[in-house]
Amino acid sequence: MFVACVAADRAGRRATQSSGKRTILWRDLKCGAIHSDTLSMKTRERNLIVFDWSCHGIPTLPSVAEQLIALASNENASTSELTELISADPGLAVLILKAANSAFYSLNVEVTSIRHAIVLLGLPEVKRIALSAVLAERFLAVPREAKRVAMDLWRHLVATAVLARDLSDEDEEPDPYTLGLLHDMGWLLFLVQHPTSYMSFVQEKSKGLREAENLWGVDHQLLGAKLAEAWGLPEPFQVVALRHHDPLRDMAPPGYLFKVTFANHLSSEIGFRSHAMFDEPLTPQIFDASHLMDGETYEEIRRAAFADRERIEGYCKLFLG
C-alpha cells in the first residue's frame, strides 16, 4: 500500500510496536478525569445527557460481526468457515462481490464467488470488507434527518480504517483496519441514542464536538471504550477507543494505538473529517514514542494519502448503499 511504501522508504525509523502490557481501560477512570474543564463548568451552563446502558439502550453488534471479529483473531480460521458465514447472508455476499470488483482493488478479472474473492484478496481482506458491510448496515440505520451526519461519520471511520491498514504490515495483529473502523464508535452511539442533540450541535458550524462533550458531560472516547467492552471485544478495541486522541496518557502505549492515532489525523486532513470533529495536534513526543515515523515522514504520507483520496472515497461509498 502507498503509505506503507512511503514509510518503508524512510526505513530504519520503522519498528515493530507491540508492548503486550496492559493499558488503562475506561473502567479504571473516573468520567471527569479526561476533561478537567468539564468539572469546572457550572451545572447551570451545562445540559447533561444520560446514556441508557440497559440491553435495550445500546445498539447490539450483529452476530455475524461478532463471528467475523472472532474469526479475525483466529489464525487458524479457514476459507471454508468464512465462505460459509458470508454465504449464509446473501446481501452480505453481494456487497463483498461488489467490493472485490470495485476500482479500489483494480483486479483484472471478474470476481464471481466468495471463494474466488478470498483467493484473490486473501482471507484477512475479505473479513475486513465483510465486517465493514455489516457494521455499515447497522449503524447507518438512523432516523432520516440524521442520515447525512451518520454517513459523514461513517466515511471518517472507513477512511481511518483504510489508512491504518496502509500504515501496517499485512496480517498484523490486532488488525489495524478493524481498530480504525471502530475507533470513534462513541460518536456513533451518541448519534444513535441522541440524534436530535447531535444534529443540532453539528449544524451550529461555529462549535466543535469537543465543546459538545463539555456541555453534555460525555466523552466519546469513554463511550466507545465502554461500548467495546459491552460488546465483549478484545482489549485493543477498548484501548483504541479510549486513547486515540491522547496516546501518551498511558505509560506503555501499544504500537497499534499510534497507527490509529496517525490514521485518524490523516483521514481528517485529507477530507474525511466528520462535521465538527476536533483533532489535537500531533506532537514531536507522539512521533518519538511511536517509533513509526517522524513529522517529515508524516508529511510525505499525508501528501500521498491526499493524492489517493478519490480511491479511498470510492471504497467508503461501497458501504453507503
- Binding positions for Fe ion, rule: CB under 5 A: 184, 264
In the complex, the smallest distance separating the C-beta of residue 77 from Fe ion, rounded to whole angstroms, is: 28
In the complex, the smallest distance separating the C-beta of residue 199 from Fe ion, rounded to whole angstroms, is: 18
In the complex, the smallest distance separating the C-beta of residue 63 from Fe ion, rounded to whole angstroms, is: 26
Cβ-based nearer residue to Fe ion, 83 or 221 = 221
146, 274 contact by CB (below 8 A): no
* 3-state secondary structure at position 307: helix
- Torsion sign (Cα): 39, 191, 164, 283: negative
Q: Which three three-digit cell numbers place residue 78?
A: 479457514
Q: Each residue of 68-80: b (16+ CB within 10 Å) or e?
A: bbebbeeeebeee
Q: Supply φ then ψ for residue 7, to 5 degrees.
A: -65, -40
In the complex, the smallest distance separating the C-beta of residue 141 from Fe ion, rounded to whole angstroms, is: 21
In the complex, the smallest distance separating the C-beta of residue 274 from Fe ion, rounded to whole angstroms, is: 7
What 8-state DSSP symbol labels residue 76?
T
- Torsion sign (Cα): 234, 130, 175, 222: negative
Crossing angle of helices 185-193 and 147-166, in 10° steps, is 170
Cβ-based nearer residue to Fe ion, 93 or 253 = 253
Q: Which three three-digit cell numbers place residue 53?
A: 446502558
Q: Give the Cα separation of 120 and 104 in Å (integer).
A: 13
The total number of residues written for the chain in this structure: 321
Cβ-based nearer residue to Fe ion, 184 or 250 = 184
Cβ-based nearer residue to Fe ion, 38 or 264 = 264
In the complex, the smallest distance separating the C-beta of residue 264 from Fe ion, rounded to whole angstroms, is: 4
Cβ-based nearer residue to Fe ion, 238 or 264 = 264
Cβ-based nearer residue to Fe ion, 23 or 264 = 264
